[in-house]
Chains A and B, each alone.
Chain A
Amino acid sequence: MNRGLPCVLSAMLVLAACQREERDTRPQSALGSGDQPAAVTALEPGGQRPASSNNKAGVFEANAFHLSEGKRLFNWFNCSGCHANGGGGMGPALMDQKWLYGSSIESIHATIRDGRPNGMPSFRDKIPDDQIWELAAFVRALSGNAPKSAAPSRDDDMMPHPSENRLPDAATLGKSP
Protein backbone atom coordinates (compact mmCIF):
# COMPACT_ATOMS: atom_id res chain seq x y z
CA MET A 1 0.00 0.00 0.00
CA ASN A 2 2.75 2.40 1.05
CA ARG A 3 4.73 1.61 -2.06
CA GLY A 4 1.71 1.65 -4.37
CA LEU A 5 0.45 5.10 -3.45
CA PRO A 6 3.36 7.15 -4.85
CA CYS A 7 3.21 5.08 -8.05
CA VAL A 8 -0.51 5.78 -8.47
CA LEU A 9 -0.04 9.46 -7.68
CA SER A 10 2.82 9.91 -10.14
CA ALA A 11 0.87 8.02 -12.82
CA MET A 12 -2.04 10.40 -12.25
CA LEU A 13 0.31 13.36 -12.52
CA VAL A 14 1.72 12.05 -15.80
CA LEU A 15 -1.76 11.35 -17.18
CA ALA A 16 -2.91 14.84 -16.23
CA ALA A 17 -0.42 16.19 -18.77
CA CYS A 18 -2.36 14.48 -21.59
CA GLN A 19 -5.30 16.82 -21.15
CA ARG A 20 -4.08 20.23 -22.21
CA GLU A 21 -7.16 21.89 -23.57
CA GLU A 22 -10.23 21.13 -25.62
CA ARG A 23 -10.07 21.83 -29.33
CA ASP A 24 -13.30 23.63 -30.01
CA THR A 25 -13.55 23.65 -33.80
CA ARG A 26 -17.10 25.00 -33.66
CA PRO A 27 -17.11 27.62 -30.90
CA GLN A 28 -19.81 29.61 -32.69
CA SER A 29 -23.23 28.16 -33.36
CA ALA A 30 -24.09 27.34 -36.94
CA LEU A 31 -26.92 29.86 -36.76
CA GLY A 32 -25.05 33.12 -37.11
CA SER A 33 -22.11 35.17 -35.99
CA GLY A 34 -22.19 36.52 -32.47
CA ASP A 35 -21.60 40.12 -33.48
CA GLN A 36 -20.64 41.69 -30.18
CA PRO A 37 -19.65 45.33 -29.76
CA ALA A 38 -16.10 46.12 -28.76
CA ALA A 39 -15.09 49.52 -27.42
CA VAL A 40 -12.71 51.27 -29.79
CA THR A 41 -11.55 53.79 -27.18
CA ALA A 42 -11.36 53.85 -23.40
CA LEU A 43 -12.18 57.59 -23.26
CA GLU A 44 -15.64 58.18 -21.85
CA PRO A 45 -17.47 61.43 -21.00
CA GLY A 46 -18.63 61.61 -17.41
CA GLY A 47 -16.85 58.67 -15.89
CA GLN A 48 -16.39 55.16 -17.19
CA ARG A 49 -19.02 52.84 -18.55
CA PRO A 50 -18.93 49.33 -17.15
CA ALA A 51 -16.57 47.23 -19.25
CA SER A 52 -18.33 45.31 -21.99
CA SER A 53 -18.68 41.69 -21.00
CA ASN A 54 -17.33 39.95 -24.04
CA ASN A 55 -16.58 36.41 -23.00
CA LYS A 56 -15.08 35.59 -26.40
CA ALA A 57 -11.90 37.45 -25.52
CA GLY A 58 -11.27 35.08 -22.62
CA VAL A 59 -12.03 32.00 -24.71
CA PHE A 60 -9.59 32.86 -27.50
CA GLU A 61 -6.83 34.79 -25.76
CA ALA A 62 -4.76 32.05 -24.11
CA ASN A 63 -5.90 29.04 -26.13
CA ALA A 64 -3.07 27.28 -28.01
CA PHE A 65 -5.38 25.85 -30.70
CA HIS A 66 -6.94 29.21 -31.52
CA LEU A 67 -3.52 30.91 -31.50
CA SER A 68 -2.09 28.43 -34.01
CA GLU A 69 -5.22 28.72 -36.16
CA GLY A 70 -4.68 32.49 -36.05
CA LYS A 71 -1.13 31.98 -37.26
CA ARG A 72 -2.36 29.87 -40.20
CA LEU A 73 -5.02 32.46 -41.10
CA PHE A 74 -2.50 35.35 -40.84
CA ASN A 75 -0.66 33.59 -43.66
CA TRP A 76 -3.77 32.49 -45.62
CA PHE A 77 -5.37 35.94 -45.66
CA ASN A 78 -2.07 37.60 -46.62
CA CYS A 79 -1.78 39.91 -43.62
CA SER A 80 1.92 39.85 -44.48
CA GLY A 81 1.11 41.77 -47.67
CA CYS A 82 1.13 44.95 -45.53
CA HIS A 83 2.40 43.88 -42.10
CA ALA A 84 5.28 41.68 -43.37
CA ASN A 85 5.28 38.83 -40.83
CA GLY A 86 4.76 41.37 -38.05
CA GLY A 87 7.76 43.50 -38.95
CA GLY A 88 5.69 46.14 -40.70
CA GLY A 89 5.85 47.61 -44.17
CA MET A 90 2.95 49.42 -45.80
CA GLY A 91 1.10 48.72 -42.54
CA PRO A 92 2.42 49.21 -39.00
CA ALA A 93 4.69 46.69 -37.32
CA LEU A 94 2.91 44.23 -35.05
CA MET A 95 5.84 42.90 -33.05
CA ASP A 96 6.87 46.10 -31.29
CA GLN A 97 5.39 47.68 -28.17
CA LYS A 98 3.59 50.50 -30.01
CA TRP A 99 -0.18 50.19 -30.36
CA LEU A 100 -2.08 52.85 -32.34
CA TYR A 101 -5.48 51.61 -31.18
CA GLY A 102 -4.79 49.69 -27.98
CA SER A 103 -3.30 46.31 -27.26
CA SER A 104 -6.40 44.54 -25.90
CA ILE A 105 -7.76 41.63 -27.91
CA GLU A 106 -11.09 43.50 -28.22
CA SER A 107 -9.34 46.48 -29.86
CA ILE A 108 -7.46 44.28 -32.32
CA HIS A 109 -10.67 42.41 -33.10
CA ALA A 110 -12.39 45.75 -33.78
CA THR A 111 -9.47 46.82 -35.98
CA ILE A 112 -9.71 43.72 -38.16
CA ARG A 113 -13.51 43.70 -38.25
CA ASP A 114 -14.15 47.39 -38.86
CA GLY A 115 -10.86 48.59 -40.36
CA ARG A 116 -8.94 51.75 -39.42
CA PRO A 117 -8.21 55.00 -41.27
CA ASN A 118 -5.33 55.18 -43.72
CA GLY A 119 -5.38 51.70 -45.12
CA MET A 120 -6.57 48.95 -42.80
CA PRO A 121 -9.53 47.37 -44.65
CA SER A 122 -12.67 46.14 -42.90
CA PHE A 123 -13.02 42.36 -42.92
CA ARG A 124 -16.58 42.37 -41.58
CA ASP A 125 -18.56 39.61 -43.36
CA LYS A 126 -15.39 38.49 -45.12
CA ILE A 127 -13.89 36.61 -42.19
CA PRO A 128 -16.17 34.66 -39.80
CA ASP A 129 -16.24 36.32 -36.40
CA ASP A 130 -14.45 33.46 -34.64
CA GLN A 131 -11.59 33.57 -37.10
CA ILE A 132 -11.22 37.32 -36.44
CA TRP A 133 -10.86 36.49 -32.75
CA GLU A 134 -8.24 33.86 -33.63
CA LEU A 135 -6.32 36.39 -35.73
CA ALA A 136 -6.53 39.00 -32.96
CA ALA A 137 -5.20 36.52 -30.40
CA PHE A 138 -2.31 35.66 -32.72
CA VAL A 139 -1.47 39.32 -33.38
CA ARG A 140 -1.11 39.77 -29.61
CA ALA A 141 1.25 36.78 -29.50
CA LEU A 142 3.53 38.49 -32.04
CA SER A 143 4.53 41.07 -29.42
CA GLY A 144 4.79 38.67 -26.51
CA ASN A 145 1.30 39.33 -25.14
CA ALA A 146 0.24 35.67 -25.12
CA PRO A 147 1.35 33.15 -22.49
CA LYS A 148 4.43 31.22 -23.59
CA SER A 149 2.64 27.96 -22.88
CA ALA A 150 -0.01 28.77 -25.48
CA ALA A 151 1.79 30.80 -28.17
CA PRO A 152 2.67 28.87 -31.36
CA SER A 153 5.92 26.97 -30.84
CA ARG A 154 6.87 26.30 -34.44
CA ASP A 155 7.06 27.92 -37.84
CA ASP A 156 5.78 25.77 -40.67
CA ASP A 157 7.80 27.66 -43.29
CA MET A 158 10.94 29.71 -43.31
CA MET A 159 10.22 32.70 -41.09
CA PRO A 160 12.24 35.84 -40.42
CA HIS A 161 11.80 35.53 -36.64
CA PRO A 162 11.71 32.75 -34.03
CA SER A 163 8.42 31.09 -33.19
CA GLU A 164 6.04 33.23 -31.14
CA ASN A 165 6.66 31.47 -27.83
CA ARG A 166 10.35 32.41 -28.09
CA LEU A 167 9.81 36.07 -28.94
CA PRO A 168 10.59 38.67 -26.24
CA ASP A 169 8.03 39.08 -23.50
CA ALA A 170 5.78 42.14 -23.73
CA ALA A 171 7.14 43.45 -20.41
CA THR A 172 10.71 43.63 -21.69
CA LEU A 173 9.98 44.49 -25.32
CA GLY A 174 11.73 47.63 -26.55
CA LYS A 175 13.73 48.13 -23.33
CA SER A 176 17.47 47.58 -23.21
CA PRO A 177 18.41 44.79 -20.84
Chain B
Amino acid sequence: MNRLVCSVCCGAACMLLLAGCSGWQSALDPKGPAAGELAWLIWFFTALCTVVWLLVMAVLILPLARRPAPVGDPLVLDAAAERGKMRIVVAALAATALILVGLTLLSYFANRTLAAIGSDAALTIRVTGHQWWWEVRYENDQPNRILTTANEIHIPAGEPVRLVVTSTDVIHSFWVPNLSGKLDLIPGHENVLDLKADKPGVYRGQCAEFCGAQHANMSTFIIAEPRPVFDAWLKDQLRPAAAPVSTEAQTGHDLFLKRPCVMCHKIGGTIAGGTVAPDLTHIASRRTLAAGTLAMSRGNLAAWIADPQGIKPGAHMPVVGLNGDELNAIVAYLEGLK
Protein backbone atom coordinates (compact mmCIF):
# COMPACT_ATOMS: atom_id res chain seq x y z
CA MET B 1 0.00 0.00 0.00
CA ASN B 2 2.76 2.35 1.07
CA ARG B 3 4.72 1.48 -2.04
CA LEU B 4 1.69 2.18 -4.22
CA VAL B 5 1.19 5.63 -2.68
CA CYS B 6 4.90 6.30 -3.09
CA SER B 7 4.95 5.36 -6.76
CA VAL B 8 1.79 7.35 -7.48
CA CYS B 9 3.37 10.41 -5.81
CA CYS B 10 6.62 9.95 -7.76
CA GLY B 11 4.70 9.56 -11.00
CA ALA B 12 2.69 12.71 -10.32
CA ALA B 13 5.85 14.66 -9.45
CA CYS B 14 7.55 13.48 -12.66
CA MET B 15 4.54 14.48 -14.73
CA LEU B 16 4.49 17.90 -13.06
CA LEU B 17 8.17 18.34 -13.87
CA LEU B 18 7.71 17.21 -17.45
CA ALA B 19 4.75 19.58 -17.87
CA GLY B 20 7.29 22.38 -17.39
CA CYS B 21 8.91 21.37 -20.68
CA SER B 22 5.81 22.00 -22.80
CA GLY B 23 5.81 24.98 -25.12
CA TRP B 24 3.70 27.54 -23.22
CA GLN B 25 6.15 29.78 -21.37
CA SER B 26 9.10 27.38 -21.49
CA ALA B 27 12.79 28.17 -21.95
CA LEU B 28 13.22 24.70 -23.48
CA ASP B 29 10.96 25.54 -26.40
CA PRO B 30 12.85 28.47 -27.97
CA LYS B 31 11.05 30.65 -30.53
CA GLY B 32 13.75 33.24 -31.07
CA PRO B 33 17.52 33.46 -31.50
CA ALA B 34 18.22 34.59 -27.91
CA ALA B 35 16.17 31.79 -26.37
CA GLY B 36 17.63 29.35 -28.94
CA GLU B 37 21.17 30.22 -27.88
CA LEU B 38 20.24 29.82 -24.21
CA ALA B 39 18.38 26.53 -24.75
CA TRP B 40 21.37 25.09 -26.61
CA LEU B 41 23.61 26.20 -23.75
CA ILE B 42 21.26 24.60 -21.17
CA TRP B 43 21.21 21.27 -23.00
CA PHE B 44 24.97 21.21 -23.65
CA PHE B 45 25.81 22.07 -20.00
CA THR B 46 23.34 19.49 -18.74
CA ALA B 47 24.64 16.73 -21.04
CA LEU B 48 28.31 17.41 -20.30
CA CYS B 49 27.77 17.70 -16.55
CA THR B 50 25.73 14.48 -16.58
CA VAL B 51 28.60 12.63 -18.29
CA VAL B 52 31.09 14.04 -15.76
CA TRP B 53 28.80 13.14 -12.86
CA LEU B 54 28.38 9.56 -14.13
CA LEU B 55 32.17 9.17 -14.54
CA VAL B 56 32.83 10.47 -11.02
CA MET B 57 30.17 8.15 -9.57
CA ALA B 58 31.67 5.20 -11.46
CA VAL B 59 35.14 5.96 -10.12
CA LEU B 60 33.73 6.21 -6.58
CA ILE B 61 31.74 2.98 -6.80
CA LEU B 62 34.43 0.90 -8.53
CA PRO B 63 36.77 0.57 -5.48
CA LEU B 64 33.79 -0.48 -3.33
CA ALA B 65 33.05 -3.35 -5.70
CA ARG B 66 36.68 -4.51 -5.90
CA ARG B 67 38.20 -6.96 -3.46
CA PRO B 68 40.42 -4.93 -1.07
CA ALA B 69 44.17 -5.40 -1.59
CA PRO B 70 46.01 -7.20 1.23
CA VAL B 71 47.43 -4.65 3.70
CA GLY B 72 51.24 -4.74 3.77
CA ASP B 73 53.68 -2.48 5.51
CA PRO B 74 52.17 1.05 5.13
CA LEU B 75 55.63 2.64 5.16
CA VAL B 76 56.82 0.79 2.07
CA LEU B 77 55.87 2.67 -1.11
CA ASP B 78 55.82 1.20 -4.58
CA ALA B 79 57.31 4.04 -6.62
CA ALA B 80 55.93 2.84 -9.97
CA ALA B 81 52.35 2.43 -8.64
CA GLU B 82 52.47 5.85 -6.93
CA ARG B 83 53.64 7.47 -10.15
CA GLY B 84 50.75 5.80 -11.98
CA LYS B 85 48.21 7.13 -9.48
CA MET B 86 49.72 10.61 -9.71
CA ARG B 87 49.28 10.52 -13.48
CA ILE B 88 45.57 9.73 -13.07
CA VAL B 89 45.09 12.64 -10.64
CA VAL B 90 46.91 15.08 -12.93
CA ALA B 91 44.91 13.89 -15.94
CA ALA B 92 41.62 14.35 -14.00
CA LEU B 93 42.70 17.83 -12.87
CA ALA B 94 43.64 18.81 -16.43
CA ALA B 95 40.33 17.49 -17.76
CA THR B 96 38.42 19.47 -15.10
CA ALA B 97 40.30 22.68 -15.93
CA LEU B 98 39.78 22.11 -19.65
CA ILE B 99 36.04 21.48 -19.28
CA LEU B 100 35.55 24.55 -17.04
CA VAL B 101 37.48 26.82 -19.40
CA GLY B 102 35.59 25.34 -22.35
CA LEU B 103 32.20 25.97 -20.72
CA THR B 104 33.24 29.52 -19.79
CA LEU B 105 34.20 30.20 -23.40
CA LEU B 106 30.92 28.75 -24.66
CA SER B 107 28.93 30.95 -22.30
CA TYR B 108 31.05 33.96 -23.32
CA PHE B 109 30.35 33.43 -27.02
CA ALA B 110 26.66 32.82 -26.32
CA ASN B 111 26.57 36.18 -24.50
CA ARG B 112 28.22 37.85 -27.49
CA THR B 113 25.53 36.44 -29.74
CA LEU B 114 22.81 37.69 -27.36
CA ALA B 115 24.34 41.17 -27.27
CA ALA B 116 24.47 41.37 -31.07
CA ILE B 117 20.78 40.53 -31.62
CA GLY B 118 19.44 44.04 -31.15
CA SER B 119 22.34 46.04 -32.59
CA ASP B 120 20.21 46.99 -35.61
CA ALA B 121 16.83 47.12 -33.85
CA ALA B 122 14.48 49.58 -35.54
CA LEU B 123 11.89 49.52 -32.77
CA THR B 124 12.49 50.62 -29.17
CA ILE B 125 9.86 49.77 -26.58
CA ARG B 126 9.98 51.09 -23.04
CA VAL B 127 8.61 48.64 -20.49
CA THR B 128 7.97 50.05 -17.01
CA GLY B 129 7.07 47.73 -14.16
CA HIS B 130 4.38 48.78 -11.71
CA GLN B 131 2.80 46.89 -8.83
CA TRP B 132 1.30 44.78 -10.57
CA TRP B 133 1.13 45.53 -14.27
CA TRP B 134 3.39 46.48 -17.16
CA GLU B 135 3.39 49.88 -18.83
CA VAL B 136 4.44 49.60 -22.47
CA ARG B 137 5.54 52.63 -24.48
CA TYR B 138 6.52 52.56 -28.16
CA GLU B 139 9.18 55.22 -28.59
CA ASN B 140 9.16 57.49 -31.63
CA ASP B 141 10.97 60.66 -32.64
CA GLN B 142 7.61 62.32 -33.30
CA PRO B 143 5.78 62.87 -30.01
CA ASN B 144 2.36 62.26 -31.60
CA ARG B 145 3.53 58.82 -32.75
CA ILE B 146 4.46 57.65 -29.24
CA LEU B 147 2.05 54.95 -28.11
CA THR B 148 1.37 53.97 -24.51
CA THR B 149 -0.44 50.75 -23.72
CA ALA B 150 -0.31 48.09 -21.02
CA ASN B 151 0.51 44.44 -20.42
CA GLU B 152 0.54 43.32 -24.07
CA ILE B 153 3.57 43.94 -26.25
CA HIS B 154 2.99 43.63 -29.99
CA ILE B 155 6.18 43.20 -32.02
CA PRO B 156 6.91 42.52 -35.69
CA ALA B 157 7.97 38.88 -36.16
CA GLY B 158 11.42 38.21 -37.58
CA GLU B 159 12.76 41.64 -36.61
CA PRO B 160 14.97 42.47 -33.63
CA VAL B 161 13.31 44.66 -31.00
CA ARG B 162 14.97 46.62 -28.22
CA LEU B 163 13.24 46.74 -24.82
CA VAL B 164 14.36 49.44 -22.39
CA VAL B 165 13.10 48.28 -19.01
CA THR B 166 12.74 50.16 -15.73
CA SER B 167 10.42 50.33 -12.72
CA THR B 168 8.66 52.96 -10.63
CA ASP B 169 8.24 51.15 -7.32
CA VAL B 170 10.10 47.92 -6.52
CA ILE B 171 12.35 45.60 -8.52
CA HIS B 172 10.47 43.47 -11.06
CA SER B 173 11.92 41.11 -13.64
CA PHE B 174 10.85 40.70 -17.25
CA TRP B 175 10.93 37.14 -18.50
CA VAL B 176 9.36 35.72 -21.64
CA PRO B 177 11.14 32.32 -21.62
CA ASN B 178 10.28 31.37 -25.21
CA LEU B 179 12.06 34.47 -26.52
CA SER B 180 14.86 35.51 -24.16
CA GLY B 181 16.48 35.33 -20.76
CA LYS B 182 15.21 37.38 -17.85
CA LEU B 183 16.22 40.92 -17.01
CA ASP B 184 15.50 42.96 -13.87
CA LEU B 185 13.45 46.16 -13.92
CA ILE B 186 15.13 48.44 -11.40
CA PRO B 187 13.70 51.75 -10.10
CA GLY B 188 15.76 54.69 -11.33
CA HIS B 189 17.84 52.57 -13.69
CA GLU B 190 17.38 51.46 -17.29
CA ASN B 191 18.29 48.00 -18.52
CA VAL B 192 18.29 46.98 -22.17
CA LEU B 193 16.96 43.65 -23.42
CA ASP B 194 17.11 42.73 -27.10
CA LEU B 195 14.91 40.00 -28.46
CA LYS B 196 13.50 38.65 -31.68
CA ALA B 197 10.63 36.28 -32.40
CA ASP B 198 11.28 34.06 -35.41
CA LYS B 199 7.63 33.34 -36.12
CA PRO B 200 4.28 35.03 -35.39
CA GLY B 201 2.72 33.82 -32.18
CA VAL B 202 1.67 34.71 -28.64
CA TYR B 203 4.36 34.24 -26.00
CA ARG B 204 3.53 34.49 -22.32
CA GLY B 205 5.83 36.18 -19.84
CA GLN B 206 5.78 36.54 -16.10
CA CYS B 207 7.35 38.81 -13.50
CA ALA B 208 10.30 36.78 -12.27
CA GLU B 209 11.29 38.77 -9.20
CA PHE B 210 9.05 38.67 -6.13
CA CYS B 211 7.46 42.11 -6.06
CA GLY B 212 4.65 41.94 -3.51
CA ALA B 213 1.26 40.44 -2.83
CA GLN B 214 0.17 40.07 -6.46
CA HIS B 215 3.51 39.05 -7.98
CA ALA B 216 1.87 35.86 -9.30
CA ASN B 217 -0.77 37.88 -11.14
CA MET B 218 1.69 40.03 -13.04
CA SER B 219 2.00 38.45 -16.45
CA THR B 220 2.55 39.88 -19.89
CA PHE B 221 2.13 38.70 -23.46
CA ILE B 222 4.41 39.30 -26.40
CA ILE B 223 2.36 39.09 -29.56
CA ALA B 224 4.56 38.68 -32.64
CA GLU B 225 2.82 39.49 -35.91
CA PRO B 226 3.89 39.81 -39.55
CA ARG B 227 5.09 43.37 -40.29
CA PRO B 228 1.96 44.55 -42.16
CA VAL B 229 -0.33 43.32 -39.36
CA PHE B 230 1.90 45.01 -36.78
CA ASP B 231 1.90 48.29 -38.71
CA ALA B 232 -1.88 48.20 -38.97
CA TRP B 233 -2.14 47.50 -35.22
CA LEU B 234 0.18 50.39 -34.38
CA LYS B 235 -1.76 52.77 -36.64
CA ASP B 236 -5.02 51.65 -35.07
CA GLN B 237 -3.73 52.06 -31.51
CA LEU B 238 -2.52 55.60 -32.21
CA ARG B 239 -6.10 56.74 -32.90
CA PRO B 240 -7.96 58.41 -30.02
CA ALA B 241 -10.61 56.33 -28.28
CA ALA B 242 -13.76 55.34 -30.17
CA ALA B 243 -16.76 57.58 -29.45
CA PRO B 244 -19.58 55.86 -27.52
CA VAL B 245 -22.17 54.40 -29.90
CA SER B 246 -25.16 53.73 -27.64
CA THR B 247 -26.87 55.95 -25.08
CA GLU B 248 -25.78 53.52 -22.36
CA ALA B 249 -22.16 53.83 -23.49
CA GLN B 250 -22.55 57.61 -23.60
CA THR B 251 -23.77 57.51 -19.98
CA GLY B 252 -20.77 55.32 -19.16
CA HIS B 253 -18.43 57.82 -20.83
CA ASP B 254 -19.88 60.67 -18.74
CA LEU B 255 -19.73 58.59 -15.55
CA PHE B 256 -16.13 57.59 -16.24
CA LEU B 257 -15.18 61.27 -16.28
CA LYS B 258 -17.22 62.08 -13.16
CA ARG B 259 -16.23 59.18 -10.94
CA PRO B 260 -12.82 58.10 -9.50
CA CYS B 261 -11.82 56.32 -12.77
CA VAL B 262 -10.65 59.63 -14.19
CA MET B 263 -8.15 60.20 -11.35
CA CYS B 264 -5.76 57.43 -12.46
CA HIS B 265 -6.62 56.18 -15.97
CA LYS B 266 -6.12 57.71 -19.38
CA ILE B 267 -8.47 57.48 -22.33
CA GLY B 268 -7.02 59.23 -25.39
CA GLY B 269 -9.36 61.85 -26.85
CA THR B 270 -11.11 62.57 -23.53
CA ILE B 271 -10.06 64.68 -20.54
CA ALA B 272 -9.11 61.50 -18.65
CA GLY B 273 -5.33 61.80 -18.54
CA GLY B 274 -4.07 59.89 -15.50
CA THR B 275 -0.80 58.09 -16.03
CA VAL B 276 -0.48 56.10 -12.80
CA ALA B 277 -2.76 53.26 -13.96
CA PRO B 278 -3.05 51.36 -17.27
CA ASP B 279 -4.01 53.35 -20.37
CA LEU B 280 -7.58 52.37 -21.33
CA THR B 281 -7.77 54.04 -24.76
CA HIS B 282 -8.06 50.66 -26.52
CA ILE B 283 -8.67 48.37 -23.56
CA ALA B 284 -11.22 46.19 -25.37
CA SER B 285 -8.63 45.30 -28.01
CA ARG B 286 -6.48 43.59 -25.37
CA ARG B 287 -6.81 39.90 -24.57
CA THR B 288 -6.66 40.07 -20.80
CA LEU B 289 -7.49 42.31 -17.87
CA ALA B 290 -5.36 43.24 -14.85
CA ALA B 291 -2.05 41.91 -16.27
CA GLY B 292 -3.31 38.51 -17.39
CA THR B 293 -5.51 37.89 -14.33
CA LEU B 294 -8.80 37.67 -16.25
CA ALA B 295 -9.71 37.06 -19.87
CA MET B 296 -11.24 40.08 -21.59
CA SER B 297 -15.02 39.88 -21.56
CA ARG B 298 -17.93 42.07 -20.53
CA GLY B 299 -18.57 39.94 -17.44
CA ASN B 300 -14.95 40.02 -16.32
CA LEU B 301 -14.74 43.78 -16.89
CA ALA B 302 -17.77 44.27 -14.65
CA ALA B 303 -16.41 41.87 -12.02
CA TRP B 304 -13.06 43.64 -12.00
CA ILE B 305 -14.56 47.12 -11.60
CA ALA B 306 -17.11 45.98 -9.01
CA ASP B 307 -14.63 44.25 -6.74
CA PRO B 308 -10.97 44.44 -7.74
CA GLN B 309 -9.88 43.70 -4.16
CA GLY B 310 -11.72 40.39 -4.24
CA ILE B 311 -10.00 39.35 -7.48
CA LYS B 312 -6.52 40.77 -6.90
CA PRO B 313 -6.26 41.70 -3.19
CA GLY B 314 -3.77 44.48 -2.57
CA ALA B 315 -3.82 45.82 -6.14
CA HIS B 316 -3.97 49.61 -6.34
CA MET B 317 -7.38 49.61 -8.07
CA PRO B 318 -9.80 50.57 -5.28
CA VAL B 319 -13.40 49.55 -4.70
CA VAL B 320 -15.15 52.54 -6.24
CA GLY B 321 -18.69 51.98 -5.00
CA LEU B 322 -20.80 52.20 -8.17
CA ASN B 323 -24.42 51.10 -8.23
CA GLY B 324 -25.55 48.46 -10.74
CA ASP B 325 -26.70 50.89 -13.45
CA GLU B 326 -23.53 52.95 -13.22
CA LEU B 327 -21.41 49.80 -13.42
CA ASN B 328 -23.27 48.53 -16.48
CA ALA B 329 -22.95 51.87 -18.24
CA ILE B 330 -19.22 52.14 -17.61
CA VAL B 331 -18.67 48.55 -18.76
CA ALA B 332 -20.70 49.25 -21.92
CA TYR B 333 -18.46 52.23 -22.64
CA LEU B 334 -15.19 50.38 -21.97
CA GLU B 335 -16.35 47.41 -24.03
CA GLY B 336 -16.57 49.72 -27.06
CA LEU B 337 -12.97 50.95 -26.71
CA LYS B 338 -11.56 48.60 -29.35
CB <8 Å contact, A125 and B276: no
A97: CB under 8 A from chain B? no
Q: Which residues of B contact A112 (CB under 8 A)?
A: none
Query: Given that A32-B321, A128-B320 are known contacts, is A26 also in contact with B313, CB under 8 Å in the complex?
Result: yes
B226: CB under 8 A from chain A? no
Q: Which of A121-142 contact B (CB under 8 A)?
A: 125-131
B297: CB under 8 A from chain A? no
A32 to B326, CA, bound (A): 12
Q: Which residues of A contact B260 (CB under 8 A)?
A: 125-128, 131
CB <8 Å contact, A130 and B318: yes
Closest chain B residue to A27 by CB distance? B319
Q: Which residues of B contact A23 (CB under 8 A)?
A: 314
Closest chain B residue to A31 by CB distance? B321
CB <8 Å contact, B321 and A26: no
Q: Which residues of B contact A131 (CB under 8 A)?
A: 260, 318
Give the shortest distance, in Å, between A158 (CB) and chain B (any CB): 9
Query: Given that A30-B307, A30-B310, A156-B169 are known contacts, is A128 also in contact with B318, CB under 8 Å in the complex?
Result: yes
A129 to B319, CA, bound (A): 10
Closest chain A residue to B255 by CB distance? A125
Say what secondary structure dominates the interface of chain A: loop
Query: Given that A25-B309, A30-B310, A125-B258 are known contacts, is A77 also in contact with B319, CB under 8 Å in the complex?
Result: no
Interface 1/0s, chain A 154-166, versus B by CB < 8 A?
0010000000000
A129 to B321, CA, bound (A): 9
Chain B: interface residue total (CB-CB under 8 A): 21
Interface centre among A25, A33, A128 (most CB of B within 10 A): A25
The number of chain A residues touching the other chain, given as a range, is 20 to 34
Q: Which residues of B contact A76 (CB under 8 A)?
A: 263-264, 276
Closest chain A residue to B264 by CB distance? A76
Q: Which residues of A contact B263 (CB under 8 A)?
A: 76-77, 126-127
A153: CB under 8 A from chain B? no
B259: CB under 8 A from chain A? yes
CB <8 Å contact, B310 and A26: yes
Give the shortest distance, in Å, between B289 (CB) and chain A (any CB): 17
A129 to B322, CA, bound (A): 12
Interface 1/0s, chain B 177-215, versus A by CB < 8 A?
000000000010000000000000000000000000000
User: Could you say which of A28, A72, A126, A127 contacts B319, with CB atoms under 8 Å apart?
Assistant: A28
Interface centre among B169, B258, B313, B319 (most CB of A within 10 A): B319
Give the shortest distance, in Å, between A97 (CB) and chain B (any CB): 30
Q: Which of A18-40 contact B (CB under 8 A)?
A: 23, 25-26, 28-33
Q: Which residues of B contact A156 (CB under 8 A)?
A: 169, 187
A131 to B260, CA, bound (A): 10
CB <8 Å contact, A125 and B306: no
A128 to B320, CA, bound (A): 6
12 A/B residue pairs, CB under 8 Å, sorted by A: A23-B314, A25-B313, A26-B313, A28-B321, A30-B321, A33-B321, A77-B263, A125-B260, A126-B258, A126-B260, A128-B260, A131-B260
Give chain B's interface residues, CB within 8 Å of chain A. 169, 187, 258-260, 262-264, 276, 306-307, 309-310, 313-314, 316, 318-321, 323
